[in-house]
Amino acid sequence: MSTTTPRGANIRHWLERHRTTAGLVGAVASGALAGLWLVVVPGRADEVGGLQEVAIRYGHTACWALLALAALLYAVRAPRPAVAASAWTALAAYLAFLAAVVL
């Protein structure tokens, strides 16, 4: 009888074996997207002011920059809470961006 492992377990195993490479690739890709979204600003930012404008202008960029930080922390084997804090903060930045665009 053969045993099979769940696909997710295989991915986690691969990521652990290639942690530095995977983290650095993720950091570079996320950093590039942060740079892109710093230049590409939704037109809605010109229609609003104050905190809403800041969230629209920089929220998406902040999200990708924080994801780049999380990937870099993962690559250098930082403590899990530090990686998680960066990733959760990225989610908060993205939610602020979405809320500012929709409202």
Total domain count for the chain? 1
Q: Is position 67 within any domain?
A: yes
CA 41 to chain centre: 18
Tell me, yes or no, whether 53 lies in a domain: yes
DSSP readout, 33-94?
Answer: HHHHHHH---GGGGT--HHHHHHHHHHHHHHHHHHHHHHHHHHTT--HHHHHHHHHHHHHHH
| Cα–Cα distance, 40 to 90 (Å, whole number) | 18
pLDDT at 61: 95
Query: What is the pTM for the complete model shown?
Result: 0.85
pLDDT of residue 43: 84
Which structural domain, as residue segments, surrounds residue 82? Answer: 19-102
Output the pLDDT for position 16.
85
Whether 5 is covered by a domain: the verdict is no
Taking 70 as the pLDDT cut, the residues of the chain under it are 1-5
pLDDT digits (tens, 9 = 90+) for 63-76: 999 999 999 999 99
